[in-house]
Amino acid sequence: MDRLMGTESEYGLAIEQTEPGELPEEARRLIAAYPDTCSGNWDYGAESPLRDLRGFRAPPMSSDPRDARYDRPARRALSPAEEHQDRLLPNGARLYHDHGHPEYSTPECRSLWELIAQERAGERIVWHCAQAYARATGRTVVIYKNNTDFHGMSYGAHENYLLGRRLPFERLSAGLMPFLVTRMLYAGAGKVGLEEESGTTAQVDYQLSQRADFFSEPVGIGTLYHRPLINTRDEPHANARRYRRLHLIVGDANLSDYALALKLGSTALVLGVLEAGYAPPVVLQDPIASLQTLSRAKWDAPNRWLLTEESGEKISALTIQRAYRLAAWELYAGRDEESDWVLAEWARVLDLLEAGSFEQLAQRLDWAAKLRLLAEFVAAEGLDWQRDRELLQSLDLAYHELDPERGLARGLEQEGRLRRLADEAAIERAISQPPGDTRAALRGECVRRFADQIESLSWGQVSLRSDGKRVILDLNDLVGRVDGRLLAERQQLRPEELAQLIADTH
């Protein structure tokens, strides 16, 4: 896709005989159960979460005050190493905990198919940690790849895309806003009902998006409270004079490979469209209201998915998506196999949405696959969407379980009712191996060969201690293609030799 991309997935965690306030401590123990070679020396000094893309340093981010209902101190004082259970893995990924959630950040990828395999590998790695934790503690653990606990709390499925600095933030924001609001048509994971504090008394049986209820402003730096559609964190993990990292928090967690690939691929192409100077096809009157209106609309209603333009005119979300897709086709048709797949499937799914081809949508998209299961259950058991909402929410959660024997999404996949893109060999390879054509190959190789010599590391730098000397591996400018075969051929590579290889590549 001609740009570095990656994802971050926060997982829902439920542990037998564990109160919500105890989950941060147990999440730390779960990450500590990772069984293979890794490095725990993450460099937090390399992070700057309050630097804003709009050119200033933001005040400290506010937390959701509802969290205080559950927060409690650890049972005992924790050492810094225990407090920050943060692992850099041989595949170049990062595994850590965010409060009470296990979290997995994929390595940087240039290939869409590689990124799908790496995210699926993250699911396996978190599940393996949960199993190790369960064996050690005797407690039953359930892991959900979703975005809500149905008690007012939300956790994220974030996306990261490397951009150049030349595109002004104002144009980036204006250009992305209508696209991000409307891509839930194919990227949403679906949800039963509304959150308790959604601000509306309307009765909604089912939504397209899990996250739509949790956003309250168009642009901002927050991620925990007062969440924005476009996050302004300026933390490039690369040369800050040349690059920025677009950190998107508005997406849902996808179990469907197809939906995930379409979400990531279409967004990458739209970023290229905006960098090429294209203007947005429409300005929405109220992006937050549009997001929530779209999510709560009945998918099969006659006037479904109509949004309000700044002028007051109505426009279909499908029309907006088609305009972005046409611009991407004009620029990228025929460029490469992955872009052509995205362009073709993007058009296909918009046509299926317009035609109301529900069964075909349910073979591809999370929200439709889950809705099919729920509707079948409601019909078979004579249930009511509102009266039996809690029961249906439990089935909603079951769709997102990582346990391959219990998770409904993975069951649909095994039955051939949900399309799969990543093959088993690619997923297993991604569990232990980084992408061979990005700087993640260098970082992963450091973990594999020099784990006991790593003093600190981050996305952009690795500090090694070799023969009493410090060797700094600067990866901040290494955002082009990397030839990972160089590493495989140099079996006796020393840290200083690796540093020289990186310098030569620069």
**Does 453 lie in the same domain as 376?**
no
As beta bridge partners, residue 98 has 101
Q: In the prediction, which pLDDT does 71 show? A: 59
Write out the catalytic residue numbers: 98
**Does 405 lie in the same domain as 290?**
yes
Q: Tell me if 431 is assigned to some domain.
A: no
- Give the 3-state DSSP-derived string for 304-337, with helices as H, strands as E and coil as C: CCEEEECCCCEEEHHHHHHHHHHHHHHHHCCCCH
The pTM score is 0.94
Q: Is there a contact between 106 and 33 (Cβ–Cβ < 8 Å)?
A: no
As beta bridge partners, residue 86 has 96
**Does 282 lie in the same domain as 213?**
yes
Reading the chain (506 residues) residue by residue, the pLDDT tens digits are 889 999 999 999 999 999 988 999 999 999 999 999 999 999 998 888 878 888 778 777 666 666 655 556 555 555 555 567 899 999 999 999 988 999 999 999 999 999 999 999 999 999 999 999 999 999 999 999 999 999 888 999 999 999 999 999 999 999 999 999 999 999 999 999 998 666 676 789 999 999 999 999 999 887 776 789 999 889 999 999 999 999 999 999 999 999 999 999 999 999 999 999 999 999 999 999 999 999 999 988 878 899 999 999 999 999 999 999 999 999 999 999 999 999 999 999 999 999 999 999 999 999 999 999 999 999 999 999 999 999 999 999 999 999 999 999 999 999 999 999 999 999 999 999 999 999 999 999 999 999 999 999 999 999 999 888 999 999 999 898 887 666 666 767 788 888 887 777 66
Q: In the prediction, which pLDDT does 20 show? A: 87
Structure tokens at 257: 């490979």
How many other C-beta atoms are found inside a 10 Å radius of the C-beta of residue 222?
19
Cα 385 to Cα 161: distance, rounded to the nearest angstrom: 38
Structure tokens at 494: 């020393």
Which of 425, 457, 474 corresponds to the end of one domain?
Answer: 425
Comparing CA positions, the residue from 246, 122, 230, 101 lying closest to residue 177 is: 230
Comparing CA positions, the residue from 233, 263, 260 lying closest to residue 246 is: 233
53 in helix, strand or coil? Answer: coil
Which of 374, 403, 425 corresponds to the end of one domain?
Answer: 425
**Does 391 lie in the same domain as 471?**
no
Which of 425, 451, 475 corresponds to the end of one domain?
Answer: 425
Residue 485 structural domain = 436-505
**Does 476 lie in the same domain as 347?**
no
- Given the structure tokens 């020393």, which residue do they identify? 494
Cα 136 to Cα 33: distance, rounded to the nearest angstrom: 9
How many folded domains does the chain comprise?
A: 2
Cα 316 to Cα 307: distance, rounded to the nearest angstrom: 6
**Does 138 lie in the same domain as 89?**
yes
Q: Is there a contact between 277 and 191 (Cβ–Cβ < 8 Å)?
A: no
- CA 342 to the chain's CA centroid: 18
Q: At what angle do helices 112-137 and 23-32 cross, to 10 degrees?
A: 110
**Does 53 lie in the same domain as 15?**
yes
Q: How far is CA 25 from CA 39, 124, 143, 212, in A?
A: 20, 22, 16, 29
Q: Is there a contact between 237 and 459 (Cβ–Cβ < 8 Å)?
A: yes
- Given the structure tokens 């070679």, which residue do they identify? 37
How many other C-beta atoms are found inside a 10 Å radius of the C-beta of residue 295?
25
Q: Tell me if 244 is assigned to some domain.
A: yes
- CA 408 to the chain's CA centroid: 20
**Does 336 lie in the same domain as 301?**
yes
Q: Tell me if 448 is assigned to some domain.
A: yes
User: Which helix (DSSP H) or strand (DSSP E) does residue 179 occupy?
Assistant: helix 169-182
**Does 379 lie in the same domain as 493?**
no
**Does 453 lie in the same domain as 406?**
no
**Does 306 lie in the same domain as 263?**
yes
- Where helices occur in 316-404 by DSSP H, the ranges are 317-332, 337-355, 358-362, 366-381, 389-399
Q: In the prediction, which pLDDT does 80 show? A: 55
As beta bridge partners, residue 314 has 308
Q: Tell me if 430 is assigned to some domain.
A: no
Residue 52's CATH number: 3.30.590
Q: In the prediction, which pLDDT does 500 show? A: 80
**Does 445 lie in the same domain as 414?**
no
Q: Tell me if 222 is assigned to some domain.
A: yes
Q: In the prediction, which pLDDT does 376 show? A: 97
